[in-house]
Amino acid sequence: MLSALSKVPRLSKFATTFNNTLRYSSGAVTGHVIGIDLGTTNSCVAVMEGKTPKVIENAEGVRTTPSVVAFTKEGERLVGAPAKRQAVNNSQNTLYATKRLIGRRFTDPEVQKDIKVVPFKIVKASNGDAWLEAQGKMYSPSQVGAFVLTKMKETAENYLGTTVKHAVITVPAYFNDSQRQATKDAGTIAGLNVLRVINEPTAAALAYGLEKSDDKIIAVYDLGGGTFDISVLELQKGIFEVKSTNGDTFLGGEDFDNVLVNYLVSEFKKEQGIDLTKDPMAMQRLREAGEKAKCELSSTTQTDINLPYLTMDASGPKHMNLKLTRAKFESLVGDLIKRTIEPCKKAMHDAEVKPSEIGDVILVGGMSRMPKVQSTVQEIFGKKPTKSVNPDEAVAMGAAIQGAVLTGEVKDVLLLDVTPLSLGIETLGGVFTKLIPRNTTIPVNKSQVFSTAADGQTAVEIKVHQGEREMAADNKLLGQFSLTGFPPAPRGVPQIEVTFDIDANGIVKVSATDKATGKEQQIVIQSSGGLSKDQIENMIKEAEANAAKDAEKRELIEAKNQAEGIIHDTESKMTEYADQLPSDQVENLKKKIAEVKELLAKSEGVSPSQLKEAVSGMQKDSLSLFEAAYKKMASANASSSGSGTEEKKEETKKE
């Protein structure tokens, strides 16, 4: 069994390096770099033309493409509008909103919730991830994303008249490491060299601020098809610095659609006594009608939902004819809109800004067109949001700008993004030692020296966690690896340097090096399921609610670690020098050591102060032992020195 690492307090101050130097390689890429907004509901692609980003129309002449993939009985794969058009007749093999599943485990509560509302099959892959099934074949969400990305790549190639190899792809700011890695994988599957994965609100800020020279703080409120993000940025002379980010990776237009569909099902059941949820074709028609009504209610106060021949029973065909007002729709989705308020407040708190200090609030994502959303944003920030960017296109435009920054076409622009959650490792006693706090600017590299927890240890296990709690078990385990084969030595002697490296894509790499031998082991955290919004929020909430309890728990573990070290040193000296003390003193010291060991053996009911008091008593009684040891060592050194002098005198006489 591998032992945990322990911290080296004496080394921690000077052994920690924190480096977020700007590792941007402008000019290293040749050829076109396209910017792709891989959205939950729709996707968009843009490219720079001179100093201006241009959104490219697809084969249907539309600037956005539905993120829908379908598989027909004939084995044909359809992507975009053609896939969406045939969904009514092929709902079980038409995959949509799969971005919400990317990088997630099948057992994730959000995935289980999705299973109940989508017509297609979400299945458990052999590695435990959530995958999809269509026409009897399994697909990973990354694969489905790749089919959409391939369509966007082809759209760009048709416009540019040349092959496109490089891309910048956007992700929700609150995506965790697994989800970012899975998105990058999708780009690779699509045949793209993904130069950068950047956050959607940050990309939108680039589109907003490229031509603006004034310094200001802005907020980007991004409510899209499947996710919600809020980011606070500072714009200063071409530098776009993200101060904080927050959000919900399972809140967006799809949820608004689901609420509306449930309402329509309920109304139809009241009127006709028929449950439409058992009719996949009727449900698909309802979903399409609901989405259309939702969009119409952004510009009108009332709409009609007319669906002839929706279903039938023994008495004949049944139709739906229902009037839906904007007020009714707003009341149905009111709770969803309210869920965006708290993340906004937290983002401002983390950025240490007041609403009055924010110059502009930018709206991004199709749902931001809803009047109730806009009025809520105005209430949160105390000002009307700006509408200077296209909510559907700004993200892709920003991605294209970042691509041009990477090629050197656009100069004097620097993008500084952040990591949304703290990262660290488990150390002795199960403590979570943070190396990189949340909202740290990326790319970033941080190292800290640790040591072994037991004598003769030749291997350590590095457990990488993500979260905000003091104890490792209360945070998300991202991955683990071992560093083995270093020489055995007393506890605390080996120096193991652990380094966290988060690249500009927000993807994590961790390495451990034995400083004596240079032996190194590393891990790139692979896609292994994502953190749900609830997990992320609960980590932070629990950290705040349990701060005092966590601090005491940590203090007790550190006191135990210190006590074990002192016992180890004392017992070593007793073995060697106990004969230098009266027997009653030796017995008394043994008794004190036993009392401390008894406290260490207790799993509960011991306070840090209680343990510290017992250790203090043991140390007082051990003073005479350490004095005796010191005197004997000093005496031995003196006699050794004297003997050497006599020998030299003898040699001189002989000469």
Residues marked active site are found at: 37, 99, 200, 222
The token duo for 224 is 């899209």
**Burial environment of residue 232 by CB neighbours within 10 A (0 to 12, 13 to 18, 19 or more):** buried
For residue 460, give every residue at least 6 positions away whose Cβ sits within 8 Å of its Cβ, in sequence order, or none.
Answer: 2, 3, 4, 5, 450, 452, 482, 483, 496, 512
**Cα 600 from Cα 607, distance rounded (Å):** 11
**Cα 593 from Cα 585, distance rounded (Å):** 12
Q: In what order do the strands lie in the sheet with 94-96?
A: 77-79, 68-71, 94-96
CA-closest candidate to residue 506, choices 94, 196, 282, 275: 196
DSSP track, 449-464: EEEESSTT--EEEEEE
Is-contact 180 361, C-beta < 8 A? Answer: no
The token duo for 303 is 């709409």
Provide the 3-class DSSP secondary structure of residue 23.
coil
Is-contact 354 348, C-beta < 8 A? Answer: yes
CA-closest candidate to residue 152, choices 445, 320, 400, 381: 400
Is-contact 621 602, C-beta < 8 A? Answer: no
For residue 401, give every residue at least 6 positions away whose Cβ sits within 8 Å of its Cβ, in sequence order, or none.
Answer: 35, 48, 53, 203, 206, 207, 210, 410, 413
**Cα 513 from Cα 159, distance rounded (Å):** 49
Q: How far is CA 47 from CA 79, 192, 504, 545, in A?
A: 21, 15, 21, 47
Strand partners, 498: 448, 512
Half-sphere exposure of 51 (CA within 13 A, CB side): 7
CA-closest candidate to residue 429, choices 565, 522, 576: 565
For residue 18, give every residue at least 6 positions away whose Cβ sits within 8 Å of its Cβ, in sequence order, or none.
Answer: 444, 445, 446
